[in-house]
Amino acid sequence: MSMATSHPSLSSITIPSSSSSSKFSSSLSPFLALAPPQRTKARRLHVRRTCVRAMVQQAVQGAPAAYAKEMERLSAKESLLLAFKDAGGFEALVSGKTTDMQRIDVNERITGLERLNPTPRPTTSPFLEGRWNFEWFGSGSPGLFAARLIFENFPSSIASLSKMDVFIKDGNANITANMNLLNSIESKVIISTKLSVEGPLRMKEEYVEGTLVSPTIIEDRVPEQLKGALGQAVNAVQQLPVPIRDAVSSGLKVPLSNSIQRLFMISYLDEEILIIRDTSGMPEVLTRLDASPSSLGESIPEYES
C-alpha cells in the first residue's frame, strides 16, 4: 500500500529572487525615508510642550508671589496711616504732643513701607507731580522747626498751624503753611522752591521766594474785645496809598534765592504716598490731596550723570 502525501511538492514553492527582493525593499523605501523626520518632529513637539509647561508653571507660581507682595504693600500703607491717627495726627505732631513710643512706632512702619517701594526711579516718575499733604516730619525737618517756633512763642489759643501742603509741577514746588490766628484770622505762608533731579532717588531743592499772604478775617469769629481794634486796623490799611495797599493785599514777598537749599532722597513713591529723607535721614511723609496723575503723558526729564 503506497503512502500518498497531500503536501505540495517542493518544486512548487517559489523562492524570491534577489531582483524581486530589491523591488520589495524599494517599494518600502518611501516609508522608511519618512520615519526619521517623523521621529524628529515628535521629539520637537515633546520639547516644545515641555517648555510651555515650564512657562505655565512659572507663571502660576509667580502670580501668587506678586499678589502676596502687593497685599503686603497695601497692608503696610494702611498700617502707617493708622499709626499717624493713633499718634494724634498733624496737630499733635506740630504741637509736640507726640510721645516717644508713638514716634518710634511710626518710624518703624515708615521703614517697613520703604522696603516695598514700587517705583524704582521716583525722581522722574509722573506720580511725583501733584498736591501733597504733610502727614509727618522728622525731628530735624524745617517744617517741624517752623511749626514748633509758632507753638513755643504763642499759645494755641492765639496761633496754630492747621495744615501744610506742597504742590509739585514742572520742577517747581510751592509749600503752603496755613495758620490760624485768634481762631478768626486765617493766613498763609508760601515758600516757592526749585527742584532739580540729581539721580534716580536724589533731588536738590533751592528756595526761591517766601510770601506772606494777606490774612483773611472771619468776622463772626472775632472776639468782642478785639472787634474795635481790628476795625481800626482795617480802616488804616484802606487809607494807605494805592500802590502800598495793593502790595499789602497781594502779600509780602521775601526773596530767598541763593540763601537756602537742601538735598533729599525719595525713599518711597506710589499714587497715594510720598516719603522723602533729608541728609540727616529724617523722614517726611506726605499723602496725595488731588487725583492720581496717571494720565500724564511725559515725566520729568532724565538726570544727567
Whether pLDDT at 252 is above 60: yes
Note the pLDDT of residue 49: 54
pLDDT bin (cut points 50, 70, 90) of residue 193 is very high
Please give the residue that has the higher pLDDT: either 286 or 24.
286
Residue 7: predicted pLDDT: 47
Backbone angles phi, psi at 161, to 5 degrees: -105, 110
Lowest pLDDT segment from 1-10, 133-142, 249-258: 1-10
pLDDT computed for residue 135 by the predictor: 93
| pLDDT 10s digits, 150-167 | 665 566 666 677 788 999
Residue 130: per-residue pLDDT: 96
Task: Tell me how far apart the alpha carbons of residues 258 and 208 are, in angstroms, rounded to a whole number.
Answer: 8
> What pLDDT shows up at residue 93?
84
pLDDT above 80: residue 254: yes
Q: Please, are residues 186 and 218 in contact by the beta-carbon 8 Å criterion?
A: yes
DSSP of 50-93: HHHHHHHHHHHHHHHHHHHHHHHHHHHHHHHHHHHHHTTHHHHH
pLDDT at 249 over 60: yes
Whether 173 shows a pLDDT value over 90: the answer reads: yes
pLDDT at 265: 97
Which pLDDT does position 140 carry in this prediction?
55
% of the chain exceeding 70 in pLDDT: 55
The predicted pLDDT at position 55 comes to 54
Top-confidence residue, 233 or 186: 186
Res. 258: pLDDT tops 50 = yes
- Can you give the pLDDT at residue 158? 66
DSSP letters spanning 2-38: PPPP-SPPGGGPPPPPHHHHHHHHHHHHHHHHHHHHH
| Three cell numbers, residue 170 | 514742572
Q: Of 37-51, 119-133, 285-299, give the range with the top mean pLDDT.
A: 119-133
pLDDT in tens, 81-130: 999 999 999 888 877 788 999 999 999 999 999 999 999 999 999 999 99
Q: Regarding predicted confidence, which is higher, 276 or 246?
A: 276
pLDDT averaged over every residue in the chain? 75
Q: Which CATH architecture has domain 67-288?
A: Beta Barrel (2.40)
CA distance 276 to 265: 5
**Domains of the chain: which residue ranges?**
67-288
The answer to whether residue 57 scores a pLDDT higher than 70 is no
DSSP category for residue 171: T
pLDDT band at 37 (very low <50, low <70, confident <90, very high): low
Per-residue confidence (pLDDT) for residue 128, from 0 to 100: 97
